Every structure is written in structure tokens, then in C-alpha cells.
């Protein structure tokens, strides 16, 4: 749409008044500098695309000599103002080397909907709903739909202080993509006579009364049967078993095997079941997609078909579009990219759906009837969107956007509420919320302190199945001479330990105080450093170069915690999707990675915190980087070897070609580097590479299963390697009612 930015307009729930340099919501307003307002209006007028800093300077600073820092400061002012009125969410996305995009949707504003005026009757207001261009979804489709570039702006209404609006978005997706039509009209939620799905649960009971681990339950559409996985002992080589169970606790073993299973999903008619067998013994994903055809009445397995056998690709999620068609998302080890596919069982042809936009990367898709829920990575966080098929448009695969939630989660699981009124979103640990079709959200109420996975409503909506995880992760030290020393006490969950550069201090994450906090171990003493209000929110911390501070990411900001005076300050306020790797206090410089989707594909940056100037490091296709004495060592996606970018230089050089792609550099001395495994593969040992001679030798032998290792955390050449184990790991399926 083309806004008249001399008049008031709507920006989400905001009223923007350019002539008064104000933005308003309810009875609250914020004044903006004229240049800040000009940039906000320009981004709103071009909200459907990424706008470069150069374009903003050319259009809005014409005739003046300014740098990109001026644009950055203006964008920061916009974010601060929007945050003050709307809360702490991402409103302006930054794309590396490309520019900025406004994430709020603008709309026209009638005089009747201006502040302190009478509202317009929403039943009498009319809005045109143009369809954005359709795209090819299958490999054999050659047609494209012409772009709908022009649309009328009609009257939009604000009802009371809640600013009830109907917004028309007209944008054009050039090139291939799904066809979307945005519509916030009346929605069919709960059918008459049906009981609404529960959101408050007061009791909990185990689902299966057997001394085994159970996990990842998927309810059958008949509301009687379920499918889930079980294992006798999660720490030893006992087989994984696929179980069907009914409400009388009668069990039926479908199959078993040595490898773990995932991605259970029933077809809509309940006759078929998908499951993925996963083998990671060689350090890479090997996923096999199975299709089981079952007769529940006779408890017979009719067939077990292998649909796909993928190496180097991890299946993230599977859903049924109908009884003949699967949709799935995956992750490629080599490219670190994510994909979404449609797979008709009648043709057995895998068709990629190109529906990503900007920095978005598909994570999960769930289908229920004519509605589709998508979870995409968006600048490091997850955005959940719900669409409805639009059969009236006459365009194949046209869909109407019902709602969008830009979460602060870095990983989610989603599943449909059985009546189709929305989706259940699991943001990790115990962060469960229902996202409804009208955009409302409601947290689920239950009394569980343990980490939970795969929440699933029963088909009648009155029960909730959860995989409850009870684990006491310990931190151990493997010394250079081969001895093992337990660093934590098995009573709590501790993980992600990091040596200081001097090796005499360790910082780790612990739930010893009941919530996730940072702790320090020094001289045999354990001291709690942080007092985070939000549980399970701290992530990706590192030591400063002088060992006097900890730098960490928490709730969208990067902080520095001083060990000397036990105080913290914000280093970077707008840090969504950024993860600190090094900090130099003498120059006040921060090194960090910026990731598109979880820890998939990233860019690496150095920022002067005094001037706020950020410089992208020329690390081509980097999958991992470490900074030592301001020099950056990195590895490339899917490639063996190690590269070095010296401080101040623009060209990196390869200094080794033998370090495996699934091993990471852990430390460095004057003559070489230490490297080892992280969490995958059997060999997690530590090796030393002499960069002068090219020779390498094993320093510490570690095997994942033999030593019961979950992950390798940190290495110090004088102390040894820190790693995590789980002496008491238990998963159970429970029912909440």
C-alpha cells in the first residue's frame, strides 16, 4: 500500500501522527524527532520489503553527508519508542548487508477512528482483500499468477481503547512462493454444543505404569489409542520400542530397534502412522522415514514402508495434509539450511515448497483440515503463523493469514488444539501457551517444575499428554593424565561449563536455586552469580579476554557481569539473534555471531560499543568461529579444515585441511590448536594439531557411550576437558486433567 504519510495512519495497534511527530496507543503517546518519524513513515510505506541504509540516506538525508551510524541510531530510536508503547518485542528486523524491514503492518485510518472520536460500526465497514501472487509449489508447475499490485484503501475502525481493526495488506512476493491473503475477519472457533479444550489442569498421573522410559506420545484420532516410544534404560544399549496403547492400558509392540525414534504422526483417518528412525553413531544424521499401516481392531501391523532414507539430513517435523499427502521440514548438515516439502503418497515425488521470505527459515508445519500452522525462524527467534485455505480465490494454494505471533523463543514445538481454535505452542521447559486464531494467547496452567516435551491434547481437548523429563546433569573434568573428577554434586541439573582463559575459574549454568542461573566455581567454592527473573532464558555466555567479566545473552540483550564488583551492565540493547563469542574490555569491543535459524547459518561481527559501529567479519560460509588475541579462527560449513582471519585483515587463509567438519576448535597455544567433538558422534576425544609441522596427537580419549557423555563443554590445556553426564535421566509420559 502507499501511505499518505502527512495524515494519521495505523501501525498495528498504534496510531501514527506524522504532522505531530507522535505515536499513540490508548491514552499513551511518545514524541519522535522529525527525522525519526520520517524514517518510520518510509519503512511503513515499504513494509513489504527490506530497505537498505543507503536508500534511507538517499531518500531522507538528501544533500547531507551522513554515515550508516546515523541510520543505526535512528532505527534504535524507533525500536525504543515502539518498545515503550508495545512491549519488548522485535519490531524492526535487521538483515546483514541488506538493511531493515518493519515487522508491523500499516493501515489507513479514518477520521472516525482517530483518538477520542466515536468508533465506526465494524459491521458496516468494508475492506477489499486482494490476494498476493501465487507461486509454484510442485516441481512440474510452470505457471505463475500475476501480481496484484493495486488495492483500494477502505475505512478501518477502532473500537474503544482496544483499537479493533481490520487491516488490508497488499504486498507482492516476486518469484516463487505460497499465495497469502491477510484477513482478520470473523472466525469459526468452537462448534456449538462442544466443550472448549481445557487450559487449566489440576491433576497429574502417569500414563504407563511400567519401569521404563516413555516419550513422545501421539494421541490417535479415536480418543482411545495412543502411540509412543519406550526404552528400558536411556543410558545403555537397550532397544527403542514403538508402542500402541488403549485406554484400558493394553499395549501392543509395533516394532523395535537400536536407534532412537521421533516424529510420530497419525493420518487423519487413523489408519497410518509415520515415524522416523535416527542413527547418529557416525556423528551425522541418518534419518529413515517409516510409514506404518495398522489394524487397531486386530492389533496387526499390515505394512512397514520406508518412504525415505536420508543421510546428512535431519527430519524436524512431519504432518498430514490429507490422508494421501505428507508435509515435512528438514535440516541439512552440509548446508545448514532448512527446507519444507510436500510428499503425495500416490506419486512418491518430493516437492520442495519455497515459502521462505527474507531471513525466515522453515522449522515446523502442522495441518488440521483447511488450516496450516507454520513455525519459522525469523532473525534468530521463532514466528508462529496460522493460515486458512482460501478456496474462494480461485488460485491453487491461496491462503488467508489468520494470525502471527513473533515469539522470543529460539525453538518451539507446535500442535493443533483439537477443535481447530488455535495451536498449542511449547517454547521450552514449561512455557506452554495456546495461540488462538484471533491472535489471543493464553498460558496453560499446571503444576510441573520438570522440563516437558511434546505436549499433545487428547482429541476431546480435556486431557493433555506430556513427556516429562527428570534429569540431573553433572559436570565432570577429564584431566590430562586420564583421571576423572566430578565437579558438581548430582542433586541438581548443571550444564554448559566454561573455563576462564587462565583455567582457574569455571562458570556454569545450574538449577541449584530452583531456576536457571549462572554459577562460579573457584577454589572449591560454588557461588551463584545471577538472579534472573525469567527461567531458562540465559544462553550462550563467554569469558572476557581479561577473565574479569562474563558476557552473556539474556532476554534479547547482551550483558557484561563483573566478577570484581558483582554488577552487570547492558553492552548491547538490541541483541535478538546475537550470541557473544568474545569481549575486550580495554577497547570495549564485542565479537558475536548473528544466526538466521537457531544455530544453523550465521554471520560474525565485531562491534565498537563506544561508537556502536558494527563490522561484519569476512568469514565466508562460516559454521563456527573462535577469537584469540583478536584473531579469528573459523571452520566452514560441511568442510574439513581451519581458517584464520588476522586482526585488521580482509582475507582469511586456510591453515589446516584435516580437522573434521564435525569437530570444533577448543583452545590455542603459540604453536597449534586443540580441537574435539561436541555432542554428536562416538569419538569426543581432544586432539592437538601442531600448525608448524601439521602433526596431530590425541590428548584425552573420550567416547560418548562408554563415558555416558551428553556434551563436551570446554577445554583448558593445563586442566583438561569439562563434559556433562546424566547419572539419573528419566522420561515419563504423564496425563494432565
HEC assignment per residue over 206-241? ECCCCCCEEEEEEECCCCCCEEEEEECCCCCCCCEE
The DSSP letter of residue 150 is: -
Q: Model confidence over 44-99: pLDDT tens digits? A: 888 888 898 888 888 888 767 666 777 888 898 898 888 888 887 778 887 766 78
Do 290 and 412 have their domain in common?
yes
Q: Which of 442, 471, 500 is the last residue of a domain?
A: 471
Do 164 and 235 have their domain in common?
no
Q: What is the pLDDT of residue 470?
A: 66
The verdict on residue 381 lying in a domain is yes
Write the CATH number for 382: 2.120.10.30
Count of H-run helices and E-run strands, the chain = 3, 56
For residues 170 and 132, is the Cβ–Cβ distance under 8 A?
yes
Q: How confident is the model at residue 424 (pLDDT cuts 50, 70, 90)?
A: very high
CA dihedral 280, 281, 283, 285 (to 10 degrees): -20
CA gap 504, 548 in Å, rounded: 12
Would you put residue 483 in left (φ > 0), alpha (ψ -120 to 50) or beta?
beta
Strongest mean pLDDT among 31-35, 104-108, 341-345, 707-711: 341-345
Q: What is the pLDDT of residue 396?
A: 60
The verdict on residue 560 lying in a domain is no
Q: Model confidence over 713-722: pLDDT tens digits? A: 999 999 999 9
The verdict on residue 485 lying in a domain is no
Three-class SS state of 415:
strand
CA gap 248, 251 in Å, rounded: 9
The DSSP letter of residue 453 is: E
Do 236 and 320 have their domain in common?
yes
Write the CATH number for 63: 1.10.10.10
**Mean pLDDT score of the chain:** 78
pLDDT at 274 over 90: yes
pLDDT at 176 over 50: no
For residues 47 and 106, is the Cβ–Cβ distance under 8 A?
yes
CA gap 99, 116 in Å, rounded: 37
For residues 446 and 434, is the Cβ–Cβ distance under 8 A?
no
The verdict on residue 333 lying in a domain is yes
Could you tell me what percent of the chain has a pLDDT over 90?
Answer: 29
Q: What cell was used for 346? A: 500416490
The verdict on residue 99 lying in a domain is yes
The verdict on residue 710 lying in a domain is no
Query: Could you tell me what percentage of the chain is helix, strand and coil, using 3-state DSSP and rounding each to the nearest 5?
Result: 5, 45, 45
Q: What is the largest CA-CA distance in the chain?
A: 81
Do 443 and 321 have their domain in common?
yes
Do 87 and 208 have their domain in common?
no
Q: Model confidence over 37-51: pLDDT tens digits? A: 999 999 988 888 889
Give the range of the structural domain holding residue 302, as residue numbers without chain letter. Answer: 204-471
Q: How confident is the model at residue 180 (pLDDT cuts 50, 70, 90)?
A: very low
Among candidate residues 381, 364, 409, 339, the one with its CA nearest the CA of residue 595: 381
CA dihedral 15, 17, 20, 21 (to 10 degrees): 90
Among candidate residues 274, 244, 237, the one with its CA nearest the CA of residue 259: 237
CA gap 71, 705 in Å, rounded: 52
Please indicate, yes or no, whether the overall pTM of this predicted structure exceeds 0.85. Answer: no
From residue 628, how far is each of 478, 591, 644, 728 by CA, in Å? 24, 11, 10, 37
The total domain count for the chain is 2
Do 273 and 351 have their domain in common?
yes
Residues 6+ apart with CB under 8 A from 188: 420
Do 259 and 364 have their domain in common?
yes
pLDDT at 2 over 90: no
For residues 214 and 733, is the Cβ–Cβ distance under 8 A?
yes
Do 250 and 164 have their domain in common?
no
Q: Which of 424, 445, 471 is the last residue of a domain?
A: 471
Average pLDDT over residues 169-174: 29
Q: What is the pLDDT of residue 153?
A: 32
Do 162 and 216 have their domain in common?
no
Q: Model confidence over 324-337: pLDDT tens digits? A: 999 999 887 666 78
pLDDT at 670 over 70: yes
Q: How confident is the model at residue 221 (pLDDT cuts 50, 70, 90)?
A: very high
Beta strands in 621-684 (DSSP E): 622-628, 631-636, 642-645, 653-656, 664-668, 672-676
For residues 595 and 337, is the Cβ–Cβ distance under 8 A?
no
Q: What is the pLDDT of residue 227?
A: 93
Residues 6+ apart with CB under 8 A from 523: none
Q: How confident is the model at residue 595 (pLDDT cuts 50, 70, 90)?
A: low
Q: Which of 444, 471, 498 is the last residue of a domain?
A: 471
The verdict on residue 197 lying in a domain is no
For residues 477 and 720, is the Cβ–Cβ distance under 8 A?
yes
For residues 448 and 430, is the Cβ–Cβ distance under 8 A?
yes
The verdict on residue 330 lying in a domain is yes
Which one is predicted more confidently, 511 or 385? 385
Q: What cell was used for 549? A: 567479566
Q: What is the pLDDT of residue 47?
A: 84
Do 210 and 352 have their domain in common?
yes
Strongest mean pLDDT among 164-178, 260-274, 405-419, 663-677: 260-274
| 23-27, 214-218, 456-460, 535-539: segment of lowest average pLDDT | 535-539
Residue appearing with cell numbers 469459526: 188
Do 218 and 97 have their domain in common?
no
pLDDT at 182 over 60: no
From residue 54, how far is each of 59, 67, 665 by CA, in Å? 9, 9, 37
Do 255 and 302 have their domain in common?
yes
Average pLDDT over residues 700-719: 85
The DSSP letter of residue 161 is: G
Q: Model confidence over 521-573: pLDDT tens digits? A: 998 899 999 988 877 678 678 999 899 999 998 888 899 999 999 999 999 98
Q: Model confidence over 358-378: pLDDT tens digits? A: 447 888 999 999 999 999 887
CA gap 158, 165 in Å, rounded: 6
Amino acid at each position: 500500500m502507499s501511505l499518505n504519510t502527512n495524515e494519521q495512519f495505523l501501525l498495528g495497534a498504534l496510531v501514527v501522527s506524522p504532522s505531530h511527530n507522535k505515536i499513540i496507543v490508548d491514552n499513551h503517546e511518545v514524541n519522535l524527532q522529525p527525522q525519526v518519524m520520517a524514517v518510520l513513515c518510509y519503512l511503513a510505506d515499504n513494509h513489504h520489503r527490506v530497505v537498505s541504509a543507503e536508500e534511507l540516506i538517499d531518500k531522507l538525508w538528501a544533500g547531507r553527508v551522513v554515515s550508516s551510524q546515523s541510520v543505526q541510531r535512528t532505527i534504535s530510536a524507533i525500536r525504543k519508542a515502539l518498545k515503550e508503547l508495545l512491549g519488548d518485542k522485535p519490531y524492526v528486523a535487521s538483515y546483514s548487508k541488506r538493511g531493515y524491514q518493519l515487522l508491523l503492518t500499516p493501515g489507513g485510518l479514518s477520521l472516525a477512528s482517530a483518538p477520542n472520536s466515536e468508533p465506526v460500526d465494524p459491521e458496516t465497514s468494508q475492506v477489499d482483500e486482494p490476494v498476493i501472487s501465487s507461486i509454484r509449489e510442485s516441481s512440474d508447475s510452470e505457471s505463475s499468477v500475476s501480481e496484484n499490485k493495486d488495492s483500494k484503501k477502505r475505512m478501518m475502525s477502532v473500537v474503544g481503547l482496544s483499537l479493533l481493526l481490520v487491516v488490508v495488506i497488499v504486498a507482492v512476493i516476486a518469484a516463487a512462493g505460497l499465495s497469502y491473503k491477510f484477513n482478520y475477519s470473523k472466525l469459526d472457533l468452537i462448534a456449538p454444543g462442544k466443550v472448549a479444550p481445557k487450559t487449566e489442569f489440576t491433576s497429574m498421573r502417569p500414563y504407563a505404569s511400567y519401569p521404563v522410559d516413555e516419550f513422545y506420545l501421539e494421541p490417535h484420532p479415536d480418543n482411545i489409542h495412543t502411540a509412543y516410544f519406550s526404552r528400558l534404560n536411556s543410558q545403555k544399549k537397550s532397544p527403542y520400542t514403538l508402542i500402541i496403547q488403549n485406554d484400558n492400558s493394553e499395549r501392543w509392540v509395533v516394532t523395535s530397534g537400536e536407534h532412537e525414534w521421533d516424529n510420530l504422526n497419525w493420518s487423519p483417518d487413523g489408519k497410518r502412522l509415520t515415524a522416523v528412525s535416527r542413527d547418529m553413531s557416525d556423528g551425522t544424521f541418518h534419518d529413515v522415514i517409516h510409514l506404518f499401516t495398522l489394524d487397531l481392531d486386530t492389533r496387526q501391523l499390515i505394512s512397514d514402508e520406508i518412504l525415505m532414507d536420508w543421510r546428512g539430513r535431519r527430519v524436524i517435523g512431519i504432518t498430514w495434509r490429507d490422508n494421501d499427502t505428507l508435509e515435512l521440514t528438514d535440516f541439512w548438515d552440509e548446508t545448514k539450511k532448512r527446507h519444507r516439502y510436500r510428499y503425495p503418497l500416490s506419486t512418491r515425488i518430493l516437492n520442495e515448497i519455497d515459502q521462505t521470505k527474507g531471513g525466515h527459515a522453515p522449522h515446523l508445519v502442522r495441518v488440521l483440515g483447511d488450516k496450516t500452522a507454520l513455525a519459522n525462524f525469523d532473525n534468530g527467534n521463532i514466528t508462529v503463523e496460522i493460515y486458512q485455505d482460501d478456496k474462494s480465490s480461485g488460485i491453487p494454494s491461496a491462503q488467508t493469514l489468520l494470525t502471527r505471533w513473533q515469539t522470543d523463543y529460539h525453538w518451539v514445538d507446535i500442535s493443533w488444539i483439537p477443535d481447530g481454535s488455535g495451536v498449542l505452542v511449547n517454547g521450552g521447559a514449561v512455557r506452554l501457551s495456546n495461540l488462538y486464531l484471533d491472535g489471543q494467547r493464553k498460558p496453560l496452567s499446571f503444576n510441573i517444575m520438570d522440563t516437558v516435551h511434546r505436549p499433545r491434547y487428547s482429541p476431546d481437548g480435556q486431557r493433555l499428554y506430556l513427556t516429562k523429563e527428570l534429569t540431573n546433569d553433572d559436570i565432570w573434568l577429564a584431566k590430562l593424565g586420564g583421571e576423572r573428577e566430578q565437579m558438581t554434586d548430582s542433586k541438581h541439573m548443571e550444564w554448559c561449563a566454561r573455563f576462564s582463559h587462565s583455567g582457574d575459574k569455571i562458570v556454569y549454568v545450574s538449577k541449584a536455586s530452583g531456576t536457571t542461573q549462572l554459577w562460579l566455581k573457584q577454589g572449591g567454592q560454588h557461588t551463584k552469580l545471577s538472579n534472573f527473573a525469567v527461567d531458562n532464558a540465559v544462553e550462550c555466555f563467554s569469558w572476557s579476554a581479561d577473565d574479569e567479566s562474563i558476557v552473556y545473552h539474556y532476554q534479547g540483550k547482551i550483558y557484561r557481569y563483573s566478577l570484581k564488583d558483582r554488577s552487570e551492565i547492558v553492552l548491547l540493547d538490541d541483541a535478538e539473534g546475537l550470541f557473544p563469542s568474545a569481549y575486550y574490555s580495554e577497547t570495549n569491543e564485542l565479537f558475536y555471531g548473528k544466526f538466521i535459524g537457531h544455530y544453523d547459518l550465521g554471520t560474525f561481527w565485531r562491534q565498537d560499543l563506544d561508537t556502536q559501529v558494527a563490522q561484519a567479519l569476512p568469514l565466508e560460509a562460516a559454521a563456527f568461529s573462535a577469537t584469540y588475541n583478536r584473531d579469528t579462527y573459523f571452520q566452514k560449513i560441511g568442510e574439513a579444515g581451519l581458517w584464520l582471519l588476522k586482526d585488521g585483515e580482509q582475507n582469511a587463509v586456510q591453515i589446516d585441511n584435516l580437522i573434521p567438519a564435525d569437530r570444533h576448535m577448543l583452545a590455542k597455544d603459540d604453536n597449534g590448536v586443540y580441537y574435539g567433538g561436541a555432542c554428536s558422534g562416538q569419538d569426543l576425544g581432544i586432539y592437538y594439531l601442531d600448525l608448524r609441522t601439521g602433526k596431530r596427537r590425541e590428548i584425552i580419549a573420550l567416547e560418548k557411550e562408554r563415558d555416558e557423555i551428553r556434551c563436551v563443554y570446554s577445554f583448558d590445556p593445563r586442566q583438561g576437558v569439562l563434559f556433562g553426564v546424566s547419572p539419573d535421566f528419566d522420561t515419563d509420559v504423564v496425563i494432565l486433567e
